[in-house]
Chains A and B, each alone.
Chain A
Amino acid sequence: MTLAGLLPIALGGAAAITGLYLLRMRRRQVVVPFAALWQQVTRESESRKLWRRLRRLLSWLVQIVVLLLICAALGDPRPDVWLREPTTLAIVVDRSASMSGPTADGGTRLDAARVRAQQEVAALGPADQAVIIAAGEEVGVVSPRSGDVAALSAALATIEPSHGEADLARALALAEHVVADASGPRVLVLTDGALDDGGMAALDRCTGGAVPCQLVVVDGVTDNLAITAFAARRYPNARDKVEVLAEVKNLGDTPAVVELDVEADGVSVGRRRLELVPGQSKREALGDLEAARARFVAHLRVVEDPAPGLSTELGPSFDDVAYAVVPPLSPLSVTVVTEGTDLFLEAALLTQGDHVELTGVTPEQARAGHDALREADVVVFDVAAEALPAALPEAHVLVFDPHRNDPSPCPIAKRTDIKRPFLTEQLRDHPVLANVVLKDVNITRGTTFALEPGDQALVRSLGEPIIVLRERGDHGLVAVGFDPRQSDLPLRVAFPVFIDNVLRYFEQREPGFVASIALGSSRELALADLGVATEGVSRVRVHAPDGTVREQPVEDGRIRLRALLPGFYEIDPLGGVAGDPGGGTDDAVATVAELAVNQTGSAAGDLHSRLADVDPAVMAGEAPTPAPVAQGPLWTAILLLAAAIVVLEWASYHRRITV
């Protein structure tokens, strides 16, 4: 019924009520013997007369309100939110690490996003639906598409900040996919704007897409100090010692001071007080630490007595701690192919530490395909006049005078033969030539090499490459264009240093130096990179920092690691056949590897919004007003309200509370 149709009813009813009200107000007469006493009593309450009149007026108004409510119920009112087309809203909540940053009111950015999402949910009409998607390193549907406000609200409360960047690209793609076929699709992104490039690009795609996409940017405090790098390494020449490097950056807008505390296996091994201007990063190295301590943790701690003008605000805590493990000291297998006449080379190799395992092979055995060549990490060919094998092994190779006999298996082609070459130029900054002085080396003869793209001429003789480094996939090849026996190089200090540099260079290219990775939902990781032997390993058991353990199959020596928490992970190789629980054993087949998972870089800790210049048209604006009633016809609620008022009025009147 329309308003015009209801108006006569309302007016008539109001007139009737007023009439009845006046009838009701005719007072009952009570005959008393001495009215003067009543006058005396009521004179004392004369000041309350106005209030009594107001109560009478209030009683009349209550009746009129009840009438109007009944008339309104007859009209079957429906709020605008019910009359419009049903909408399907995908709420994408950014739960990246930066969302745990504080806001001005003391809460977190995620709290503010939750509140806004709650307002959006509360504004849903009876036919509207919403889906809530949480975007962290992993994207998850917190609540499926539903119109149940209670379920949606409960789902919002379960969202917690993650430890890494939000994968907005996947989240927005999922959101668009969920609402694409529904009526009134809309995507609402709740973020703090501290996004990486991928997130910014995803937002650009979403706001320009077919599905309407709007942004809500929650503000917050931007002061933050973060550990942006943290690693531990063994000294190249003292592998029982460890050096730790930490980088701290001030990502805020005010000068700050902080204390960097590095712990090894729970014991503090060093503290540094750092003062940083906005945007500045400082690196601190702690040296000569015992390699027996395998785990290092760096903390940022608040300075108790800061200088005036320096902030001590650390910001969110996720980037105030970092983890590192000492790379494992894996043995290096070196096979020397020699006919036994170069004692200087053998002496230089024997000076290596215990982790270098030497194996001697004759040229004949090498040509016959000795197993030591296939298993070695590094193969040194010093065969003098003997012939090289038909093909160089799949290993790092140091070969002397490879083109002495033709044809040569050396992939670095010979350019020309030289008599009495002089070593005139060398790459002093290259690690292979560190501390190596080749000046005035006398050489009887040699060959120069023809360089190919990617080759590095470590040493030249009058411009011609005579020592060349070539990268062959996962392996390196160092070719020396002369025989040490035909030079006085073995008599010089540079020779053992050169041999040591070459082995160290090859060793550092070997797996085992990947001791820290970045947070990520799922990434492929080579077991060899962790220093784990892959032979016979079909599964690994991964122990996460939160105590959870799960098994991962190993394929081609690689696993997919899901590292969502920073901290130390343990990779426990297992034997058996992947996918066949009964086909193998769970016996550990190799040493347990440790892996540190950290935030990487400063992008996650930068709390500044990158959406300051975004088009205002894509911003969602103020929060919508809540829908008056979630579901059900409104006229029933109005009638119930009217009935409640009538009951209250009746009860109060008959108890003489009101008149």
Chain B
Amino acid sequence: MALRQRAATTARAGDDDVVFDEAFLAKLELLHVIARRLFRGRQRAERKTRKIGSGLEFADHREYSPGDDIRYIDWTAWIRLRHRLIRLYEEDEDLPIRIVVDVSDSMSTRGRAKLRYARQVAAALAYVGLANLDRVGLSCISGTTFETLPAVRGKGRIFKVFDFLRTTKSGGATDLRGGLSRVAAQSSQPGLTVVISDFYDMQAFEGLNLLRFRRHDPVAIQVIDPIEADPRGTGLRGDVMVVDCEGGSSREVTVTAKTLDAFAAAHEKFCGALESSCRSRGIHYVRANIDIPFDDLVLRMFRMGGILL
């Protein structure tokens, strides 16, 4: 059985599992994860780094210093200039990718639709990274959960990724700042860090900014349930007690048409503020509406957002 068929079969095991069909996986293999910056890797791979090493492509010269390998002395330059210069080459290395999935309770409302969607996106990204010989690690974070899958390499490790996403517990309050700070602290090597969450946290951007401060290249994928974002079509009216699913405060609200209009506007303002903050700091931001078919998002929206090539 081919690996791709095996992966597709495994993915259909349960409702909560990530679901990929064979054609979808075939499309993913053709994509490359693109990073806007080049990062230092541990093993050779297909990505260029600034590490001067054993690559084939000339990069630069520098003054010879004692201890340098004399094989890299540019003798042609010594003959012309009587300076001992060392030839520097760009070295091809792998890309460290860290995928962070928010598994808080806010992602589990309305039948865990957002969480399932986030896991699918995370699995897809991981598969793309593994297919391109990048090192892919995963973290599931919430106020009470912090589970990490150490970085793995090779397309055959995708099953670990599926198992990790399937078995990780969900629940707890959203705490993106705390979770991302732990991710940054545990990452010995900065890289591409994709955060998949609804970002229903007033300190969400601080977490993203912290990653950026630690020289990560964060990508924010905001998963949005359109019903939650704009409840005007739900028929919700009258006096209700609004209870936060993460056990926070509750509030008595008299829901009217005006109230719903105001809420939709406030939600849009909240998302817009996050997007504006991300773009002002050079952080990729993608708004993923769960109404959009998953493969469309991965194949089209990610490409539009500059994440996949």
The answer to whether A659 and B238 have CB atoms under 8 Å apart is yes
Shortest B55–chain A CB gap in Å is 48
The contact of A35 among B239, B250, B254, by CB within 8 Å, is: B250
- On whether the beta carbons of B245 and A28 are closer than 8 Å, the reply is no
In the complex, which of the residues A34, A36, A40, A42 has the most CB atoms of chain B within 10 Å of its own CB atom? A34
B252 lies within 8 A of A32 (CB): no
Find the B residue at minimum CB distance from A24: B239
Q: Is the CB of A32 within 8 A of B243?
A: yes
- Which single member of B236, B254, B259 contacts A659 (CB below 8 Å)? B254
B109 contact set on A, CB distance < 8 A: 31-33
Q: Is B70 positioned at the interface, with any CB of A under 8 Å from its CB?
A: no
Q: What residues of A have a CB within 8 angstroms of the CB of B254 in the complex?
A: 52, 659
CB atoms of A42 and B200 under 8 A apart? no
Contact among A34, A39, A45, A52 with B106 in the assembled complex (CB-CB below 8 Å): A34
Using a CB-CB cutoff of 8 Å, which residues 219-251 of chain B contact chain A?
225, 228, 236-246, 248-251
Contact A40 B241, CB 8 Å, known A33-B228, A34-B106, A35-B251: no
Nearest-CB distance from A531 to chain B (Å)? 92
B267 within 8 A of A: yes
Number of interface residues of A (CB under 8 A): 22
CB distance from A650 to the nearest CB of B (A): 14
What residues of chain A lie closer than 8 Å to B202, measured between beta carbons?
36
Question: Which residues in B have their C-beta under 8 angstroms from that of A45?
Answer: 259, 262
A residues near B236, Cβ cutoff 8 Å: 30
> What 1/0 flags go to A9-50 for Cβ under 8 Å of B?
000000000000000010111111111111111101100000
Q: Which residues of A contact B107 (CB under 8 A)?
A: 33
Determine if A419 is an interface residue (Cβ-Cβ < 8 Å).
Answer: no
Does any Cβ of B come within 8 Å of A550's Cβ?
A: no
Contacts of B246 in A (CB 8 A): 33
Q: Do the beta carbons of A32 and B256 come within 8 Å of each other?
A: no
User: Considering the chains assembled together, what is the distance between the CA atoms of A31 and B266 in angstroms?
Assistant: 18
The answer to whether B240 and A27 have CB atoms under 8 Å apart is: yes
Given A35-B250, A52-B254, A659-B254, decide whether A41 and B262 contact each other with a Cβ distance below 8 A: yes
Is B253 engaged at the interface, CB distance under 8 Å to the other chain?
Answer: yes
Is B270 at the interface (CB under 8 A from chain A)?
A: yes
Point out the residues of chain A lying under 8 angstroms from B106, CB to CB: 33-34
Whether the Cβ atoms of A38 and B263 lie closer than 8 Å is yes
- Minimum CB–CB distance from B270 to chain A (whole Å) comes to 6
In the complex, A28 Cα to B250 Cα: how many Å?
A: 12
Q: Which residues of B contact A28 (CB under 8 A)?
A: 238-241
Chain A proximity of B255: nearest CB distance (Å): 8
In the docked arrangement, what's the CA distance between A42 and B262, Å? 9
Closest to B264 in A: A41
Which of A25, A30, A35, A40 is B266 in contact with, Cβ under 8 Å?
A40
Residue of A nearest to B236 (CB): A30
Point out the residues of chain A lying under 8 angstroms from B267, CB to CB: 37
- How near does chain B come to A34, taking the closest CB pair, in angstroms? 4
With CB as the reference atom, state the residue of chain A lying closest to B200.
A34
Judge whether B198 is part of the interface by a CB distance below 8 angstroms.
yes
Residues of A515-560 contacting chain B, CB below 8 A: none
Within the complex, what minimum Cβ distance (angstroms) separates A422 from chain B? 124
Give Cα A27 to B254, complex, Å.
10
CB-nearest residue of chain A to B244: A35
A656 touches B241 (CB 8 A): no
CB < 8 Å neighbour of B242 from A30, A44, A52, A656? A30
Q: Which of A155-209 contact B (CB under 8 A)?
A: none
Evaluate contact between B259 and A41: CB separation under 8 angstroms: yes
CB–CB B243/A31 < 8 A: yes
**A39 to chain B: which residues have CB within 8 Å?**
249, 251
A33 & B259 in contact (Cβ 8 Å cutoff): no
Contact of B252 with A27 in the complex, beta carbons under 8 Å: yes
Residue of chain B at shortest CB distance from A30: B240
Which one of A27, A37, A41, A659 lies within 8 Å of B241 (CB-CB)?
A: A27
Cβ distance B254 to chain A, nearest Cβ, rounded Å: 6
Q: Name which of A37, A44, A45, A659 has the most chain B CB atoms within 10 A of its CB.
A: A37
Within the complex, what minimum Cβ distance (angstroms) separates A109 from chain B? 58
Are the C-beta atoms of B241 and A30 separated by less than 8 Å?
A: yes
Min Cβ gap B186→A in Å is 27
B251:A33 contact, CB within 8 angstroms: no
Measured between alpha carbons, how far is A474 from B198 in the docked complex, in Å? 126
A32 touches B249 (CB 8 A): no
Contacts of A44 in B (CB 8 A): 262
* Interchain CB contact under 8 A, B241 and A29: yes
Are A42 and B253 in contact (CB-based, < 8 A)? Answer: yes
Bound form: Cα–Cα A563–B291 in Å: 96
B199 closest partner in A (C-beta): A34
Q: Nearest chain-B residue to A42 (Cβ)?
A: B253
Q: Cβ of B105: which chain A residues have Cβ within 8 Å of it?
A: 33
Cα separation A659 to B238 with both chains bound (whole Å): 7
Of B198, B225, B251, B256, which is within 8 A of A38 by CB? B251
Interface residue ranges of A236-264 to B (CB < 8 Å): none
User: Are the CB atoms of A33 and B200 closer together than 8 Å?
Assistant: yes
Question: Can you name the residue of chain B whose Cβ is closest to the Cβ of A55?
Answer: B254
* Minimum CB distance partner of B114 in chain A: A33
B244 CB contact (under 8 Å) in A32, A656, A659: A32
Complex: chain A residue closest to B258, CB-CB = A45
Residue numbers in A under 8 Å from B225 (CB-CB): 33
- Which residues of A in the span 107-130 have a Cβ within 8 Å of any Cβ on B? none
In Å, the complex CA distance between A39 and B266 comes to 10
If A32-B228, A33-B198, A659-B238 touch, does A41 touch B243 (CB 8 Å cutoff)?
Answer: no
Q: Once bound together, how far apart are the Cα atoms of A35 and B238, in whole Å?
A: 17
CB neighbors of B among A632-659 (8 A)? 656, 659
Known interface pairs A40-B266, A656-B237; A35-B259 also in contact (CB < 8 Å)? no
Q: Give min CB distance, A483 to chain B, whole Å.
A: 125
Could you give 17 example pairs across A and B, Cβ below 8 Å? A27-B239, A29-B240, A29-B250, A30-B240, A31-B243, A32-B242, A33-B105, A33-B198, A33-B228, A33-B244, A33-B245, A35-B249, A35-B250, A36-B202, A42-B251, A44-B262, A656-B238
Other 6 A-B pairs with CB < 8 A, given A34-B198, A35-B243, A39-B251: A28-B238, A32-B228, A33-B106, A34-B228, A35-B242, A45-B262
The 6 closest A-B pairs by CB, nearest first: A35-B244, A34-B200, A33-B106, A27-B241, A656-B237, A41-B262
